[in-house]
Amino acid sequence: MRPSLLGRFVRRLALTTALGLAATGLAATAGTGPAAAAGTLQQVTGFGSNPGNLAMYEYAPAGLAAGAPLVVALHGCTQSANDYFSHSGWQKYADLWGFAVVFPQTSSANNSSSCFSWFDATKDTRGKGEAASVVQMVNTAAAQYGSDTHRVFVTGLSAGGGMTADLLAAYPDVFAGGAVDSGLPAQCATTLTAASGCQQNNQNLTPAQWGDKVRNANPGYTGPWPRVAIWQGGSDYTVYPVNATELRDQWTNVWGIGQSPSATQTLSGGTTLSVYNDTAGKPAVELYSVAGMGHGLAIAPGSGADQCGSTGAYFLNTICSTYHTAKFWGLDGAPSGGGTGSLPAPTGLGVTGTTASSVSLSWSAVSGAASYTVYRDGAAVGSAATASFTDGGLSGATSYGYTVAAVDSAGNTGARSAAVTATTTGTPVQCFTASNYAQVAAGRAHQSGGVAYANGSNQNMGLWNTFVTHTLAQTSPGYYVIADAGCPA
């Protein structure tokens, strides 16, 4: 975000953490020389004229096949490429599904808080500055790995999210899709002085006016347009939630579709997914709203298929956004929005029972189906021979979204059903002990006038600093109470 807004914040942050780490201990390779060693994060030099004065880092799993996708991942302010590589979870899915990742890095030489310059028209537009440097990195990596240039994607956090939106607008011919995490609409600000207004305030523009900012970034381009995922915390007081609405308005307008969702779904971590389909019925824009989450990237540490990342400043334990973003882009190899077979989507999917650890489902049988695949929060979790299924091993008092698809005798999967939401029984209480400063940074509290208040209950926690510590219990999504006397979990 803009330096004047972040300056005081970064000085406070230095009391407890060192986010502005340069990537250290990383070997450098020349962009025109041998391929970087697979399986490690490597710096690449000589990737072009580099008008934006950026550093290029890349990761690829061993044995990466030619024709694989390529992802560009942009860090947030005060972060480095190594921070994003270490915490975001992109390495896990690059290894699992087979694709390369480029991690551009800016520095304090470009911006005092090491922010990408999403607000500077001399740096974030087509052919200029940092935007041009990122595209040079794409060209270098694509040539090095033999990447599929029709499957290049870009994602970013905070200022990196703002730059992601700008890149999607300036280079829709380069990027097939993007994900803006706690970021801003394309070309919301074109000067430093206008940046804070974008971060905190409604710009009162119509969807068409937002869409024009994209269309004007590359005049004459008529499509195809990138498919865009938007991630936003409901308690983000750095980049306010209105930005997600504006991003939704911008990209649905570019696609020529309305602002009413085609479908909604409840995911883990207090997340609501709103899907906006194109005229062919395929998701074009997806908005993920995470209740109670502050400013940062949504991650969910663990070994499950839909778990990823590690916690840290601006890496918040809620839901693995990287997993859902990669699935939305089709990086798992599955087509987005439907299967390969001709069987119709099952109808009548409903919840027949729940316990603290299981959900039972049933649906209407499909003629010609040999079996059915059941999906939880977008990931396949089991197969059923008949039109019913019980999903076990779940967390108590948690909402899950389910769909089901019929599979024919040749193993071809048909279209997925409409989604239903099931909530397991039990009481989901989680407790977090940290300084008032850290509680605010994690999105569990907010500050006003130098005093911290618990989100939801608004209980006074005392001074907003690193010296006062409290335990907060989350009794419902986004609702926290002081629990210093003992966690009720």
Check: CB of residue 275 under 8 Å from CB of residue 261: yes
In this structure, which amino acid lies at residue 345?
Answer: A
Neighbours of 156 (CB within 10 A): 30
Rg (CA), the chain: 22
Tokens (6 digits) for 204: 């009162």
Q: What is the distance between the alpha carbons of residues 322 and 361, in angstroms, rounded to a whole number?
A: 28
- Residue 158 appears among annotated catalytic residues: yes
Check: CB of residue 173 under 8 Å from CB of residue 102: no
Q: Give 24-65 as a 3 state SS string.
A: CCCCEEECCCCCCCCCCCEEEECCCCCCCCCEEEEECCCCCC
How far from chain centre, in Å, is Cα 356? 29
Q: What is the distance between the alpha carbons of residues 270 and 293, in angstroms, rounded to a whole number?
A: 9
- Please pick, among 80, 158, 182, 289, the residue that the annotation labels catalytic: 158
If residue 245 lies in a helix (H) or strand (E), which one and from where to where? helix 242-255
Q: What is the distance between the alpha carbons of residues 268 and 338, in angstroms, rounded to a whole number?
A: 22
Q: What are 391's strand-pairing partners?
A: 359
Helix/strand/coil percentages in the chain, nearest 5:
20, 30, 50
Return the DSSP state at 418.
P
Q: Which residues in 469-484 are b (16+ Cβ under 10 Å) and which e?
A: ebbbbbbebbebbebe
SS3 for 416?
strand
Q: CA-CA distances (angstroms) from residue 204 to 208, 286, 296? A: 12, 22, 25
Q: CA-CA distances (angstroms) from residue 363 to 14, 211, 286? A: 55, 40, 26
Count Cα atoms within 13 angstroms, Cβ side, for 440.
26
Q: CA-CA distances (angstroms) from residue 56 to 59, 103, 105, 160, 402? A: 10, 6, 6, 14, 40
Check: CB of residue 456 under 8 Å from CB of residue 480: yes
**Which residues are known to be catalytic?**
158
